[in-house]
Amino acid sequence: MALTPSDETAHLEASAVGQRRATPWLLLLALPILFFLSLPLLALFLRSPLHQLATNLVRPEVVQAVQLSLTTGALSTLVTLGFGTPLAYLLARHRFRGRALMDTLIDLPMILPPAVAGLALLITFGRRGLLGAYLDDLGVSIAFTPAAVVMAQVFVASPFYIKSAISGFGSVDRDLEQAAAIDGANAWRILQHITIPLAWPALLGGIVMTWARALGEFGATIIFAGNFPGRTQTMPLAIYIGLELDLTIALTLSTIMLSISFLVLFVVKRVLHQRVTNRWQ
């Protein structure tokens, strides 16, 4: 079997086993930032007693926000997968004029303040917007709807998947694909059986990052989709409103978001790790 990039990763990891033991002074250097990152999260849990969590969990505004966030987050991820994969493949496999420009454009939504993204979406797809004005003539209105929530999330979160998928596709050994082609596999089968499985860790990592970013989207959503319970009020919006209305709701939703995100990220990381380890064995 040819040495694939992921085998290399596994090999590197294996050789690193000898250095696994953390030296105390390195640990000491690493601690401040770890502490800084984890203490506020811990504080959230400490300030939300369990009984309060239980009573708030069944409140309609909390249930609505959780449902809406999970649905829109899943939809945004699917949309990103559907439209982002071809773009990522194109950028990973082809060199053409304007490629660098496209690549940079994809970076922009990641570094743009989300409020700017929301305003940009509003003046594009709002009813007075660049495209929205025409849509409005057709009777299609996007702003203030769940569709606007999904669009805001895709705008802000899809680059995470696309970037990851570009490097994933780029790292697949072309010789393997060519060997399969010589053996008579058509393009679709090569993609299905070789390219995607080999790029899978990067794809999955990207999917999870996009999903997590979509789940946490706030700034673009509140400007483009507004805030309406059950329609456009996702968890981050409900948390923000809850800060004013009822701090315990904000705390409950924050702990729910943290728990869901942590669980998903952790599980995916474990799965990825196992895949790499299994292939190496």
Partner 1 sequence: MLKLCGYLLIIITISLLLVSCAPVSAPSTQTDENAGTTTLVVFAAASLTNVFDEIGATFRTAHPGVEIVYNFAGSNQLATQIAEGAPADLFASANEAQMAVALESGRIHADAERTFAHNRLVVVLPTDNPAGLIGLDDLRQPGLKIVLAAADVPVGQYALGFLDRAEADSSLGAGYKEAVLANVVSYETNVRAVLSKVVLGEADAGIVYTSDAAVQSDQLQQIVIPDALNAIASYPIAPLADSQQTELAQQFVDFVLGPDGQTVLAAYGFAPTSGEEQ
In whole angstroms, the minimum distance from the beta carbon of 92 to partner 1 comes to 35
59 binds partner 1 per the rule CB under 8 A:
no
20 binds partner 1 per the rule CB under 8 A:
yes
**Dihedral sign of CA atoms 9, 14, 16, 21 in order:** positive
- DSSP summary character for residue 22: P
In whole angstroms, the minimum distance from the beta carbon of 247 to partner 1 comes to 7
| Distance (Å, whole) CA 237 – CA 144 | 13
41 binds partner 1 per the rule CB under 8 A:
no
- Looking at the Cβ atoms of 247 and 258, the one nearer to partner 1 is 247
Task: Give the tokens for residue 93.
Answer: 């496999």
Nearest to 257 by CA among 203, 205, 218: 218
226 binds partner 1 per the rule CB under 8 A:
yes
- Looking at the Cβ atoms of 41 and 105, the one nearer to partner 1 is 41
144 binds partner 1 per the rule CB under 8 A:
yes
37 binds partner 1 per the rule CB under 8 A:
no
Which of 74, 87, 110, 127 contacts partner 1 by CB under 8 A?
127
Specify the amino acid at residue 107: D
| Distance (Å, whole) CA 226 – CA 144 | 5
45 binds partner 1 per the rule CB under 8 A:
no
| Distance (Å, whole) CA 157 – CA 190 | 29
137 binds partner 1 per the rule CB under 8 A:
no
Residues near partner 1 (CB under 8 A), total: 29
247 binds partner 1 per the rule CB under 8 A:
yes
Question: CA torsion, points 205, 208, 210, 213, in degrees to nearest 10?
Answer: -130
- Looking at the Cβ atoms of 6 and 232, the one nearer to partner 1 is 232
Which of 122, 150, 154, 190 contacts partner 1 by CB under 8 A?
122
Q: b/e map of 131-148 (b: 16 or more CB within 10 Å)?
A: ebeeebeeeeebbbbbbb
| Distance (Å, whole) CA 32 – CA 24 | 14
Taking residue 32's Cβ as centre, other Cβ atoms within 10 Å add up to 9
Cβ neighbours of residue 219 under 8 Å, at least 6 residues apart?
113, 114, 115, 117, 118
- Looking at the Cβ atoms of 22 and 187, the one nearer to partner 1 is 22
In whole angstroms, the minimum distance from the beta carbon of 119 to partner 1 comes to 9
Candidates 15-23, 49-57, 78-86, 157-165: pick the segment binding partner 1 (CB under 8 A).
15-23
In whole angstroms, the minimum distance from the beta carbon of 276 to partner 1 comes to 17
Task: Give the tokens for residue 27.
Answer: 């640990």
Applying CB under 8 A, the residues found at the interface with partner 1 are 20-22, 24, 27, 31, 34-35, 122-123, 126-128, 143-144, 222-223, 225-229, 232, 240-241, 243-245, 247
